[in-house]
Structure 1
């Protein structure tokens, strides 16, 4: 697995968040190193910050100007929990560039992981929120399309719904957005009825789950919705918004997964298409490191998941299938 990261990403500080802090970066990298010691092939690669053309594919020019000018003036507040310092613009550009590089590597045949901060999946085309400034997963998907992927899937297992990725691609049939997340919860989006609009109708797939959901419910979501739709879509690349705040130790998530479950998710997805992972949330440092370790090992092996799929689907999964049945044969 190729690893895209940069030590200067730790210079970004969001003074409004006690959770998305610089210490997350070395914790995640320690997880990748633990995977290497356990036998995974992990190699760091150099990359460039996201160029203006790529950023304009997913964000409005005036919004990009706002981010740049806010950082150049020393920082400022963009959202009740999202602030910038003087390093935030360069860190955000690096994070988006790492995600784009991971997508290119995966398309070339080697799975890749952009271990970055700040996270990105809440950033909309013209709005920062939820600790996010530039949408890293969207940048990865856009780069893959530009490199000829044809169809790209973005699968989000962060505990929070990725409203930004959904908004950016809501009417684009080239990008399938799939999310399994806690609901009701921040940011208040991600209902099963949100399925896309116009030519993108049917290409947004949401599986909202109740608080305290654990591995059996997530396994049902993967088996009953996410994997069947993904196979039917036949993407040239899967970008994973790899958030780890659904871990049972996380101070924000309120779910019941452990690190082995994330490894199983990665292994299952590796068998479906080329895989590029992008770090999102995850705020308990020990859980973050352990989860990154298992994710790298799972993505490297592509072996069978450690959890079992169940034919007895819970109601949230059955409901998502009913809503999606008008678009996907595998949901009927």
Structure 2
């Protein structure tokens, strides 16, 4: 539902304080290196070492907590849809770890004196509906009066300590699967410039508001060695984290990567977000692109995503079956690459045009 009577273009409000993108991976790495190491706790099963988006803390032999937080400025103009996107994005980190969302807290920054309160009401309603779909409980939140609207969630989930999935377990012979198409960053940048039709806005919004719940539940019985969700660092950035964390090399096939309609056209027209270019600059020394893949094609593979799909490294013999099962369950899954033994412990990415 669009609050047409309010005549507010939410995405234009983010220009006051920046794009609302994540801090780039290069800058973030430099900052984090300056932070002293915290208390060593044997119950902290997943911390900052593997660049996973969620932490995991063991409470008992059969119970651990998954904790994460995410928020950002509006990337769509419909307040209800923005709330749904933000909620799905934050919940995704728990699904990527193999966990089940349990409770959520709203994080709100809103110019309460200058924007209609009904807009915030719609944002919160959209998030609440998505949280309800996930089966989690909304337990509260925190709000501040800010000139620029921002919204997100802090999420706590549960998982068995022996069933945690990180981005650091991929093995040679694994196949790589993604569960949503990419190109979201280029399309949401285009929304701010009024370049998309209502139907195209609905399509990209549908991708972002789709929970990774079904994908996570579908992959549960398979031999998944590593998993993460594709968000701000883009497909290549998150694949590189998986390669480095696992000590492997990963080869992706460009022609197999699902891309949303018009992404190439809009990227060529100049609607490539700064976060996507930052991602490319961060990964370019660790990625070998086929000579036929031009700069635009490389940018698309590095595109900064909001509420993207899961990136799954599954035992090679089970990959086709898992893709078929995901598709049967309504997930837009594609087999896009494979894992090899690394030439170095740092890991690398190779992007080919086709397997042949």
- Normalised TM-score (structure 1): 0.31
Greater per-residue strand proportion = 2
Structure number with larger C-alpha Rg:
2
Higher relative contact order (CA 8 A, sep 6+): 2
